[in-house]
Chain A
Amino acid sequence: MSNKVFKKEIRLSGSGGQGLITAGIILARAAVLDKVRVTQTQSYGPESRGGASRADVIISNDEFYYPEAVNFDVLLSLTQEACDKYLVNLKDSGILIADTTNIKNIVHTDAKVYKLKFTEIAMDKLGTTLPTNILTLAFLVKITGVVSENSLKIAVRDSMKPQFIDLNSKAVKIGFKLASDEMNKQ
């Protein structure tokens, strides 16, 4: 990690039950492994499935205080509703990662946009949509470099129940691969 001061505000958004808060926690754990400062917050409704849900992760090598993401460097959206709601706060220099399984319209933005059918890909390659959150997170990490890939792998392993480690490690690999492909395209 270079000595240049950096601060990345990341918002993971979608609906309850999509595992976004889990993804946020794993990203924050990876940041801890990278020995940088991190704060993870979340917002959710009263229901544990459905309803709007978001997790914010702020990663920096300098002190920062306000815990929620305000102007995002990275926005991940898994639902149309979340994408519509939060895109306005994405920096022009930022990155939008949108799951086009659910998102059909993206309003104009100057930010860089990655559009993939993450949920479909997860179903296709892993036979279940459950690890979509981890797959997408891995994609995000590879594209943005907000944490090291190795730390993410360890954080995923440390955060999962033993029976889910394999599946999610596979999801990480797929996410990384998708990101490489995208990067090569450009």
Chain B
Amino acid sequence: MSSNKNKPKVVLMQGNEAMARGALAAGLDFFAGYPITPSTEIAEICSIELPKINGKFIQMEDEIASISAIIGASLAGAKTMTATSGPGYSLMTEGIGFAKMTETPCVVVNVMRGGPSTGLPTKPSQSDIMQARWGNHGDAPAIALYPNSVSESYELSIRAMNLAEKYRTCVVLLSDEVLGHMREPIELPDLSQVKIVRRITPTKPPEWYQHYPDNPKYPMPKASFGEGYRFHVTGLSHDAKGFPTNRADETKVLMDRLRNKIAYHIDDIVQIENYQMEDAKIAIFAAGIASRAAKEAVVKARKKGIKVGLMRPLTIWPFPDAAVRKYLADKKAIIVPELNQGQLSLELKRVMGGIWNYEIRKTKKIKEIHRTDGLLITPDQILQSIMEVK
């Protein structure tokens, strides 16, 4: 290796590449995918890097096959990822539900582009935020992360891989066309310093092994195919050993665990960033690429003497209910800029009680800025809203 090993290396990197390299740093060793703009670079980089480290890359025949292959590989012991965009994500949703139901770790990247349908393949969007939560049929909570810079794409990719492993679930890593194709300097960490959640393998003898223990510790242990445990995996409702069941008591235990493993660990999963929030009278609530314009708007507004702050969720799902109540309750107005027709704002209104509670709506202004024409919301657009609500 190079002699200046301890010097942090700063390189110009694309957001998509950062997501691929972050996953590789977290131990990714299997990737299956299908080409789709604007996510394809992630697959391309994995196809280059994985065989070099004895990992596997395969381009499948469609997105359904891609999610299927990574779940299969994950059951065989791999750390897995696939990457796609809206139309492909729609095809993957049944498989995502299977991964959640069978508690099989995997990461699905969705580099959001304009929709619905084929929409605007080369333009950014944030319109799959609700799909990341509710995309699969059936009740199952979701974990979804959404960075707003290239270096954070790298960091959250590591985090997504780790959370998938720890909670044995499918984690959705959101990005968008601008973030995915944007290039910024990134300081690559010393790989030996990257915190990786390693797979805990069972210590019990096979006949006592439960693939789905009732009250698991996290990281949840997991056996893999070919290691002597010979467990059964099914998308049907199943018991502790994984065998299908129609029994109400066994089904309840399963469904409660799927919910509670996320609900009871919200503090571990949720990450937010507050910027200039302490003395702010007005708050902007924005995620991903929209938060970049929002932060710029905060700086501009502050220069005009207007006390504005930004609250940015890095974890979109589970939604940071408690943090929203804590930091946004006393604000005079909340501005929600997003590249969709009101998805984060809908969730915000749920938490603030605004949809039903007339009193709250009277005193609190939630100012929504929507944009679905393929262009970014600009700082000036947000600044204008600040002037309107101040």
Q: Do chains A and B touch in the complex (CB under 8 A)?
A: yes
Stretch from B201-209, B292-300, B326-334 forming part of the interface with A: B292-300
For the residues of B in contact with A, the DSSP-based class is mixed
- Once A25-B12, A38-B184, A38-B185 are accepted as A-B contacts, the answer to whether A64 and B122 lie under 8 Å apart by CB is no
Contacts of B380 in A (CB 8 A): 70
Contact A42 B181 (CB under 8 A): yes
**A28 contacts partner chain B, Cβ-Cβ < 8 Å:** yes
B184 touches which of A39, A42, A46 (Cβ 8 Å): A39
Contact A46 B185 (CB under 8 A): no
Q: In which size bucket is the chain A interface? A: 20 to 34
- Once A28-B12, A32-B10, A46-B121 are accepted as A-B contacts, the answer to whether A68 and B183 lie under 8 Å apart by CB is no
**B11 contacts partner chain A, Cβ-Cβ < 8 Å:** yes
Contact A32 B12 (CB under 8 A): yes
**A65 contacts partner chain B, Cβ-Cβ < 8 Å:** yes
A45 to B37: give the CA distance in the assembly, Å.
Answer: 11
- Once A46-B121, A64-B296, A65-B293 are accepted as A-B contacts, the answer to whether A40 and B182 lie under 8 Å apart by CB is yes
A144 to B379: give the CA distance in the assembly, Å.
Answer: 26
**B260 contacts partner chain A, Cβ-Cβ < 8 Å:** no
Contacts of A67 in B (CB 8 A): 178, 182, 289, 292, 376
Chain A nearest CB from B229 CB (Å) reads 48
A42 to B12: give the CA distance in the assembly, Å.
Answer: 15
Contacts of A29 in B (CB 8 A): 12
A44 touches which of B10, B122, B376 (Cβ 8 Å): B122
Contacts of A46 in B (CB 8 A): 37, 121-122
Contacts of A6 in B (CB 8 A): none
- Once A65-B292, A66-B293 are accepted as A-B contacts, the answer to whether A41 and B178 lie under 8 Å apart by CB is yes
Contact B183 A25 (CB under 8 A): yes
23 contacts between A and B (CB under 8 A): A28-B183, A32-B10, A38-B184, A38-B185, A39-B182, A40-B182, A41-B181, A41-B182, A41-B183, A42-B181, A43-B122, A43-B123, A44-B122, A45-B122, A46-B37, A46-B122, A65-B296, A65-B379, A66-B376, A66-B379, A67-B289, A67-B292, A70-B378
Q: A32-B185, A38-B185, A43-B123 are in contact. List 4 more A-B contacts (CB 8 A).
A: A29-B12, A46-B122, A65-B292, A70-B379
